[in-house]
Amino acid sequence: MPPVEIDASALPPLGMPPADFLRDYWQKRPLLIRNAFPGFVSPIEPEDLAGLACEEMALSRIVSHDRDRDHWRLRTGPFREDEFPGMPHQDWTLLVQDVDKWDADVAALLDCFDFLPRWRIDDIMVSFAAPGGSVGAHVDQYDVFLLQAQGRRRWQIDASESPSLTFRRDVELKLLQRFSPTHDWVLGPGDMLYLPPGVPHHGVAEDACLTFSVGMRAPSAAELLGDFVDTLAAEADEALRYRDPDLEPPRDPAEIDVAAMNRAVEALNMLRMNDPERLGDWFGRFITLYRSSGEVIAGENGRSRIEIEWDLQHGARLVRHPWSRMAWRKGGRGSRLYVNGHAIALPARAAARVANSRVLDGDDYAALGQAGQDCVFELYRTGHYHLQMDADGDDGGNGATWWPEDGSGQ
């Protein structure tokens, strides 16, 4: 049985080669990773999180617990700045979703998770908890890496075979009626707890603390089917229908016979659901759009191609919009780059380079080749890349700096 706890000081962030982690733990069993990020210093402060929770576009919640009455209260943001100084000294948590889209330093942490496909990662949620603060014992449907960023949090988990999963009816939050922990740890800065889906857990702040949850996306089978069928249906030719030129006089006019059912299957097959190219193309578009709560909208990207290329040759960089999600795929009919639900035909090398480049400098751009450069300029025009004139983040005066002032782009 692989151990449930490891010290990663010598091999951060997992304490083992990624292949071993994926084989033994990923989607299978929890792992407490001490020193996953040795000497970790949180890139944001609780005040930054509170500031973000006041933004219209940010998804934020406050969960408070009245211990005496075991009463839970959930409030959703945006919150007013003047609400925070008056908050109690204990037993509440502020949670903000998608902090990686708002803060470049938080987003940079995702590079440490490149042992997973990037399109599997949903967001980094950050929580601030006052001492005693918690969101109660619960289960999540998705894998999560809970990185302790500041202060200490006590995590209890139930790693037993078949934990009890009945929920309390008296609370708005999906809290477990019974929780019997099998493990109990206090995590400090840099420690990280990996939980596969379905493991009951309960995290209580020992002192005021920040926790980063790197959460995964995993569409349900029903979502996948629904979206795929919608896509096929939207593209289908109306002339493709149930047909029966071979019809013979029915034995019983009310009966749906075997021949009729075969024809129904034939009509469904006309949609070419099994065609790997259509399936691949749909999945690339679906997964780069799935669960995205922000949108990329073209802004003031008014520079001409010649100007952009001149700027890139003179130290400017193209920086990807935080809500822009990319993936690529080698298909039977050529490679495709997928960008927020769109498919772009591109040679495999260029597609891979663009998909992996959050930032492109002049050399990166030059190495893309003609098709890659055409594609990047189009992505710049449509808002997926933004020109940054120098390393300090000066944007050359076109007025749009995404980080850290405005992560929304909406």
Q: Which residues bind ligand SIN (CB under 6 A)?
A: 93, 127, 129, 135, 140, 144, 201, 203, 211, 213
Positions in the binding site for Co ion (CB under 5 A): 140
8-state DSSP, 339:
E
Closest separation in Å from C-beta 113 to Co ion: 17
Binding partner at 373 among ligand SIN, Co ion, none, C-beta below 5 to 8 Å by kind = none
Closest separation in Å from C-beta 358 to Co ion: 27
Closest separation in Å from C-beta 286 to ligand SIN: 25
Residue 52: exposed, middle, or buried by beta-carbon count in 10 A (0-12, 13-18, 19+)?
buried
Closest separation in Å from C-beta 313 to ligand SIN: 45
Give, in order, the Cα–Cα distances in Å from 99 to each of 69, 212, 246, 247.
33, 9, 61, 61
Binding partner at 127 among ligand SIN, Co ion, none, C-beta below 5 to 8 Å by kind = ligand SIN
Question: Which residue's CB is nearer to Co ion, number 140 or number 374?
Answer: 140
**Three-state DSSP state, 194:** strand
Question: Which residue's CB is nearer to Co ion, number 156 or number 293?
Answer: 156
Binding partner at 211 among ligand SIN, Co ion, none, C-beta below 5 to 8 Å by kind = ligand SIN
Rounded-to-integer distance, Cα 7 and Cα 185, Å: 13
Question: Which residue's CB is nearer to Co ion, number 94 or number 312?
Answer: 94
317-335 burial: b if 16+ Cβ within 10 Å, else e: bbbbbbbbbbbbbebeeeb
Amino acid present at 77: G
8-state DSSP, 92:
E
Question: Which residue's CB is nearer to ligand SIN, number 14 or number 175?
Answer: 175
- Distance spanning both ends of the chain, measured CA to CA: 48
Closest separation in Å from C-beta 393 to ligand SIN: 30
Binding partner at 388 among ligand SIN, Co ion, none, C-beta below 5 to 8 Å by kind = none
Rounded-to-integer distance, Cα 342 and Cα 348, Å: 16
Question: Which residue's CB is nearer to ligand SIN, number 55 or number 140?
Answer: 140
Rounded-to-integer distance, Cα 336 and Cα 256, Å: 43
